[in-house]
Structure 1
Amino acid sequence: MTGRSRGGAPPAVLVLEDGRVFRGRAYGAVGETFGEAVFSTGMTGYQETLTDPSYHRQVVVMTAPHVGNTGVNDEDAESARIWVAGYVVRDPARRASNWRAQRSLDEELVAQGVVGICGVDTRALTRHLRERGAMRVGIFSGSAIADEGTLLAKVRQAPEMAGADLSAEVATKEGYVVPAVGTKRFTVAAV
């Protein structure tokens, strides 16, 4: 992690709506966040996952044990911002080690205000989610940490995903054209 060692990051707590609690350290922004807990089994492509609008209002748990090795660059994003509500990793890379990296994953999460947690047994968390199904989750760090009962109540008050109309929240505000590369063969419109 750039700017702070894992041991120097504030404590963090992840609370699922069924009462299961995981403890770790803050990763990314410090504060609190809520969303639907989902997991990603990809060993690469974390930047694309984070910037994919289909993950809006979801807290993504990465099952790969080590995340952040390649850092973040301005070319690999799926959209102009990070859409996940929160991020959970087991062991974040201490530094980005890729020639294309422009900053660390931790720096990008902080810059975009994404609250995360590291040091969590993400495989145990993933197994729990697979067995119990979709549920709301909260991540709390720094001054947002309180007793578990208070945190659980906050998670259970968070909006559910069922029935949510998120397309208007993630759609572009204005239409745009992607210029053709090479010889024009067809005209394609995406709606």
Structure 2
Amino acid sequence: MSDITQLENELLAAIASAKDETGLEAVRVAALGKSGSVSALLKTLGAMTPDERKVQGPAINGLKERVGAAIATVKEALGSSALDARLNSETVDVTLPVREAPTETGRVHPISQVTDELTAIFADMGFAVVEGPDIETDDYNFTKLNFPEGHPAREMHDTFYFPQKPDGSRLLLRTHT
């Protein structure tokens, strides 16, 4: 039992003294690897008597769990400190001026440009641009335009309806102008 305690103290000291993840991985392999010290202890269980196994088995497995937990804790701490160091070294000073001043502050989107040009062309031809609400009542969208009740445009798959209002009117997304 004292050998297990001594081995645990040595392994925990080696884990605590690991400077980086590479050193920690070397300690993990030396302790828990295929030919590691804890694995060697586990292999000796087969040669022990059943009574010795009942005592040594839980002790060795507990050692393995404690060493694994210590390695995981230190690995997380090393990863966190490495991330902090990387973030500190890669900071950006947002108060610095732009390296190259842009020649233009922005541009008109090509679709907006074409829309504006087409609107100007149709305005020159005598047409007028009329804008209205995108959400309309069923009455203004269909009934006042002489669409009968059974017209296919009133179908649910052709028109997007909103829930019916308390006064009975139905709102919908305007289907045409």
| TM-score bin (small chain) | under 0.3
TM value normalised by structure 2: 0.20
TM value normalised by structure 1: 0.19
Q: Could you say which structure has the higher helix fraction? A: 2
Higher relative contact order (Cα pairs below 8 Å, separated by 6+ residues): 1
Whose Rg is larger?
2
